[in-house]
C-alpha cells in the first residue's frame, strides 16, 4: 500500500492548554501506526498563549508547524489556511480539543490507501449537548442538505481529503466558503467513518449562541439560495391574502354592507409592510455577501509561521554542505 505523507490540520483558538496534548496524542497514534505525517497548527488570532505554545511545540518536534493569523478570521479560514500550507499527499482536519477521536485518523488513512479520495467523519452521537443547540443543528443541516442534495445531518469538519480534492477546494475563489459542505460537494470516491463526539478534557467551547447563529446564517447564504426563495413564498402569501381581502371588500361594497373604519386597512398595511421589510432584509443580506465577494479580500492573513516543511531541513543541510 502507498505510504504517502499525511498532513494533519489543527485549527486552534484560545487553546493554550491543549496544544502540547494534541500534538503528543495525535503524533503518538500516528507514530505507532507507522504513518508519515506533519502537524499544522493554525492559530486563529487567539488572545491567550496559544501561539507561544505552538512555537514551543514546533521547537521540540520537527514534525510540527505553526501558522499565526494577524487576527481572528474564523475556523473556516483556519482550515483553508492549513490546507494551503499542507505538503502531504492527503490531509485530515481535526479539532484541537480532541473531541474528534484521533485514533480514527488511522482508519481514515487506511481507507485512503485503499483508493478513497474523501473520507468523511460522521457523528454517530453528538455527545452531551444543549437540547436547543441540537434542535438548531438539526434544522440547519436539513436546510443545507436540501440545498446541497445530499445528507448532512451527521456531517462534521473531521475528514480526510486526497491531494486532488484539496487542490480543487483551494482553487475555489469564493471568500465565504463552507468547508463542511464543499468538501462533500466536490465528489470523488468517498467513504465514511463513524465516531462519537468526545468530551472536552480542558477548557470550554468557544462557540456562543450568537456565534453559532452568525455561523449558520453565513453558511446557509454562502451555499444556498433558499432564503431568496422565501421572499417569493412570502410574496405569494401576500398575493393570496390580498385577493381574499379584496374579494371580501368588493362583495361588501356591492351588497351595501361595507362598514366605515380603518382597522382592516391598518392591519393589511402592517402585514404588507412586515413582508416587504423581511424581503428587503433577506435581499440586502445577499447583496452584502456579493459585496464581500466582489471586494476580493483574502480569506486570511498569516502574520508569522514556525517549523519547517518536510524535506526543507534536509535541503538546507545539503546546501550547507
User: What is the C-alpha to C-alpha distance for residues 316 and 65, in angstroms, rounded to an integer?
Assistant: 17
Name the pairing type of β-strands 118-125 and 159-162. antiparallel
pTM, two decimals, is 0.67
Q: What is the mean pLDDT of the chain?
A: 75
Give 194-215 pLDDT, tens digit per residue: 777 666 555 555 555 555 566 6
Residue whose C-alpha cell reads 445577499 in the numeric block: 286
Quick check: 130 pLDDT over 70? Answer: no
For residue 9, the model assigns a pLDDT of: 92
Quick check: 31 pLDDT over 60? Answer: yes
Highest-scoring range by mean pLDDT, 111-120, 225-234, 260-269, 275-284: 111-120
At 302, the pLDDT band (50, 70, 90 cuts) reads confident
User: What is the C-alpha to C-alpha distance for residues 201 and 102, in angstroms, rounded to an integer?
Assistant: 14
- Which of 60-74, 177-191, 251-265, 289-303 comes out lowest in average pLDDT? 251-265
Q: Which three cell numbers stand for residue 228?
A: 431568496
CB 6 within 8 A of CB 40: no
Kindly compute the dihedral angle of the four CA atoms of residues 134, 161, 91, 153, in this order, to the nearest 10 degrees: 0
Amino acid at each position: 500500500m502507498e505510504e504517502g505523507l499525511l498532513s494533519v490540520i489543527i485549527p486552534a483558538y484560545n487553546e493554550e492548554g491543549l496544544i502540547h496534548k494534541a500534538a503528543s496524542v495525535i503524533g503518538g497514534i500516528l507514530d505507532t501506526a507507522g504513518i508519515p505525517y506533519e502537524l499544522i497548527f493554525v492559530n486563529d488570532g487567539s488572545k491567550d498563549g496559544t501561539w507561544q505554545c505552538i512555537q514551543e511545540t514546533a521547537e521540540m518536534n520537527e514534525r510540527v508547524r505553526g501558522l499565526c493569523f494577524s487576527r481572528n478570521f474564523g475556523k473556516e479560514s483556519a482550515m483553508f489556511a492549513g490546507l494551503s500550507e499542507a505538503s502531504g499527499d492527503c490531509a485530515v482536519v481535526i479539532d484541537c480539543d480532541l473531541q474528534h477521536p484521533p485514533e480514527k485518523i488511522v482508519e481514515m488513512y487506511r481507507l485512503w490507501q485503499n483508493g478513497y479520495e474523501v473520507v468523511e467523519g460522521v457523528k454517530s452521537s453528538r455527545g452531551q449537548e444543549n437540547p436547543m443547540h441540537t434542535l438548531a443543528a438539526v434544522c440547519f443541516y436539513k436546510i443545507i442538505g436540501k440545498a446541497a442534495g445530499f445528507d448532512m445531518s451527521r456531517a462534521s469538519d473531521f475528514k480526510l481529503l486526497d491531494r486532488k480534492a484539496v487542490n480543487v477546494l483551494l482553487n475555489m475563489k469564493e471568500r465565504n466558503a463552507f468547508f463542511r459542505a464543499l468538501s462533500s460537494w466536490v465528489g470523488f470516491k468517498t467513504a465514511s467513518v463513524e465516531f462519537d463526539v468526545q468530551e472536552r478534557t480542558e477548557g470550554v467551547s468557544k462557540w456562543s449562541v450568537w456565534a453559532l447563529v452568525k455561523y449558520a446564517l453565513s453558511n446557509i447564504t454562502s451555499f444556498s439560495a433558499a432564503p431568496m426563495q422565501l421572499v417569493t413564498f412570502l410574496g405569494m402569501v401576500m398575493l393570496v391574502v390580498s385577493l381574499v381581502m379584496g374579494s371580501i371588500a368588493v362583495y361588501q361594497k356591492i351588497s351595501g354592507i361595507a362598514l366605515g373604519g380603518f382597522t382592516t386597512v391598518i392591519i393589511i398595511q402592517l402585514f404588507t409592510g412586515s413582508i416587504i421589510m423581511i424581503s428587503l432584509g433577506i435581499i440586502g443580506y445577499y447583496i452584502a455577501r456579493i459585496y464581500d465577494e466582489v471586494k476580493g479580500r483574502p480569506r486570511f492573513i498569516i502574520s508569522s509561521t514556525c517549523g519547517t516543511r518536510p524535506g526543507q531541513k534536509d535541503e538546507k543541510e545539503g546546501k550547507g554542505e
